[in-house]
């Protein structure tokens, strides 16, 4: 399997550090707003990365942090005249709700920065002790000059940076590119006590601490959008390697931007649509198709027409499942016919080539064509539909269908539920409420809900 590694700017053969295990860290949201469709791109792409490794039999630990202390959060709390925690709690809840609506599975763990203050302070102290960091008027900075290979992830070097930049007048810093590890609190701001006075940690330090804490000294994959390469990931890498001279991550993966009329969709440009708003018009599979039909490193333009085309494409897959049954357990796929085996292998080869989801989707279309082929045996078409479901699920499609399959109730079970409902109404007539209640409660345990109406009792499956 080959993956493009931003660190070496080339596609490299991927080998996990530990056999059959993947340890992956992806920078998560800063929680002061609903996330927009651009933010959804990395969330969705790394969901696919995790699914694909799992499908290949790896045991995946996926850590995605939540930045719950930050200048923007404080500014928003001040604007609304509330505690910063009111802001973060609200948007953490919204973050998980929106992920769910997008059919993005949760990470193994979502650590929150404010839960790791002692570890962050210890790391900064360690950097000070080792001579990589210095305190200045209550702030602590990382001295970029001390890290000889500073810039290796982004391909920038300090001389070029200094030549190209407008140098800010900050007399506290030894070098204008020194970055903040600890920020002194202004009056009224939230703070934590530290050896350098009251303040809060810098964003780059937060991710180093949370990733190492949960994944160990070095891990396999570190991910995020390309805007994170510099300075965020460069500064994470610099700190981590200054501490123990071991790579923080072996592979650095970055997704391209979602643009809108040529600009990056972003909160600061105010040119964004929140994911929850887009979800009112397009379902999760359509949005997923919109992103995955392009390579993850290519830029994508937000475009209604392409979203409409995505909707049509997804509906075509759903036509297959309306026509042909699929089974949750893909029993028959153990003995795939040669043509289907070839398609499956092509799909895997596309995904093994730096997660080429665009190409992988083309094989899903080949499968759907086979499903509609009237000149082949129905059993073959059903096998194709099962494979379409299996491979589509790897890309995160069809999860609604999965719910339906999970909750499928066969004819016999349906008759048994009807029988229990009849026994329950007999029990009620005879004033045996103990039995009546037992039937209702036990069915509820099985996610079967009873509703008494004047016409009689109905049942439904709890969602
Ligand atoms: P933020 O909350 O701004 O830190 O962003 C969260 C994630 O979304 C990061 O991985 C960013 O790189 C990514 N991101 C932000 N804007 C875009 C965009 N327009 N297109 C793709 N990814 C983005
Ligand atoms: Zn990060």
Taking only the tens place, the pLDDT of each residue in 116-173 is 999 999 999 999 999 999 999 999 999 999 999 999 999 998 888 887 766 666 679 9
Residue where one domain finishes, among candidates 361, 378, 408? 408
Task: Say whether both 252 and 350 belong to one domain.
Answer: no
Residues with beta carbon < 5 A to ion ligand 2?
27, 207
Task: Say whether both 402 and 452 belong to one domain.
Answer: no
Using CA of residue 164, residue 169, residue 174, residue 179, what is the dihedral sign?
A: negative
Please say if the pLDDT value at position 97 is more than 70.
yes
Mean pLDDT, residues 3-9 = 98
Q: For the segment 247-303, what is each residue's pLDDT rounded down to a tens digit?
A: 999 999 999 999 999 999 999 999 999 999 999 999 999 999 999 999 999 999 999
What DSSP line would sit under 445-462, residue for residue? HTTEEEEEETTEEEEEE-
Task: Say whether both 117 and 82 belong to one domain.
Answer: yes
Query: Is 27 close to ligand 1, i.e. is its CB under 6 Å away?
Result: yes
Task: Say whether both 225 and 88 belong to one domain.
Answer: yes
Flag whether 145 is in a domain.
yes
Q: Which domain holds residue 190?
A: 2-275
- Which atom of ligand 1 is closest in space to residue 28's alpha carbon? 6
Q: Total structural domains in the chain?
A: 3
Using CA of residue 67, residue 72, residue 76, residue 77, what is the dihedral sign?
A: positive
Task: Say whether both 252 and 161 belong to one domain.
Answer: yes
Q: Is the peptide bond before 119 cis (omega within 30 degrees of 0)?
A: no
- Which atom of ligand 1 is closest in space to residue 265's alpha carbon? 19
Flag whether 285 is in a domain.
no
Largest interatomic CA distance in the chain: 90
Kindly state the tokens that stand for 63: 């850590």
Q: How many angstroms is it from 83 CA to the middle of ligand 1?
A: 25
Q: For the segment 34-89, what is each residue's pLDDT rounded down to a tens digit?
A: 999 999 999 999 999 999 999 999 999 999 999 999 999 999 999 999 999 999 99
Please say if the pLDDT value at position 330 is more than 60.
no
Residue 321's CATH number: 1.20.120.640
Flag whether 416 is in a domain.
yes
Flag whether 282 is in a domain.
no
Query: Is 42 close to ligand 1, i.e. is its CB under 6 Å away?
Result: yes
Task: Say whether both 449 and 362 belong to one domain.
Answer: no
Task: Say whether both 65 and 166 belong to one domain.
Answer: yes
Flag whether 289 is in a domain.
no
The better pLDDT of the pair 331, 425 is held by: 425
Taking alpha carbons only, the member of 333, 334, 348 closest to residue 389 is 333
Query: Is 41 close to ligand 1, i.e. is its CB under 6 Å away?
Result: yes
Task: Say whether both 269 and 312 belong to one domain.
Answer: no
Flag whether 445 is in a domain.
yes
Stated as kind and residue range, the H or E segment containing 130 is none
Mutate to test the pocket of ligand 1, among 225, 228, 254, 287 (most ligand atoms within 8 A of CB): 225
Residue 133's CATH number: 3.40.50.620
């Amino acid at each position: 399997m080959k993956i493009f590694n931003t660190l070496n700017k080339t596609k490299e053969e991927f080998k996990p550090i530990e056999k059959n295990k993947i340890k992956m860290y992806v920078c998560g949201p800063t929680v002061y707003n609903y996330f927009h469709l651009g933010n959804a791109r990395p969330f969705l792409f790394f969901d696919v990365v995790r699914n694909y490794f799992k499908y290949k039999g790896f045991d995946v630990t996926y850590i995605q942090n939540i930045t719950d202390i930050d200048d923007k959060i404080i500014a928003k709390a001040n604007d609304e005249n509330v505690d910063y925690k009111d802001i973060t709690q609200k948007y953490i809840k919204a973050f998980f709700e929106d992920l769910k609506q997008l059919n993005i599975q949760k990470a193994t763990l979502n650590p929150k920065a404010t839960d790791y203050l002692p570890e962050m302070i210890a790391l900064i102290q360690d950097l000070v002790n080792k001579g990589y960091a210095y305190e200045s008027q209550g702030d602590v900075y990382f001295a970029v000059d001390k890290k000889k290979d500073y810039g290796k992830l982004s391909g920038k070097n300090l001389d070029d940076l200094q030549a190209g930049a407008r140098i800010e007048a900050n007399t506290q810093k030894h070098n204008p590119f020194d970055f903040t590890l600890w920020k002194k609190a202004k009056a009224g701001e939230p703070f934590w006590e530290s050896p350098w006075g009251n303040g809060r940690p810098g964003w780059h330090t937060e991710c180093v601490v949370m990733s190492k804490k949960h994944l160990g000294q070095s891990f396999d994959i570190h991910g995020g959008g390309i805007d994170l390469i510099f300075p965020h990931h460069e500064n994470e890498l610099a700190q981590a390697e200054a501490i123990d001279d071991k790579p923080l991550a072996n592979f650095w993966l970055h997704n391209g931007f979602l643009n809108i009329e040529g600009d990056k969709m972003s909160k600061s440009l105010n040119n964004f649509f929140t994911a929850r708003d887009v979800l009112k018009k397009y379902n999760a599979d359509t949005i997923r198709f919109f992103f995955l039909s392009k390579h993850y490193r290519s830029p994508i333009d937000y475009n209604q027409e392409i979203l409409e085309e995505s909707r049509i494409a997804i509906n075509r897959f759903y036509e297959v499942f309306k026509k042909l049954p699929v089974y949750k357990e893909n029993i028959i796929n153990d003995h795939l016919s040669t043509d289907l085996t070839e398609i499956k292998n092509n799909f895997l080869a596309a995904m093994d080539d730096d997660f080429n989801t665009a190409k992988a989707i083309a094989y899903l279309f080949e499968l759907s064509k086979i499903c509609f082929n009237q000149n082949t045996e129905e059993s073959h078409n059903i096998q194709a539909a099962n494979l379409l479901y299996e491979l589509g699920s790897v890309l995160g499609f069809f999860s609604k269908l999965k719910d339906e399959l999970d909750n499928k109730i066969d004819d016999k079970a349906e008759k048994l539920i009807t029988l229990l409902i009849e026994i329950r109404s007999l029990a009620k007539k005879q004033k045996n409420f103990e039995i009546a209640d037992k039937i209702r409660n036990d069915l509820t345990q099985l996610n079967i809900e009873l509703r008494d109406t004047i016409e009689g009792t109905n049942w439904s499956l709890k969602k």
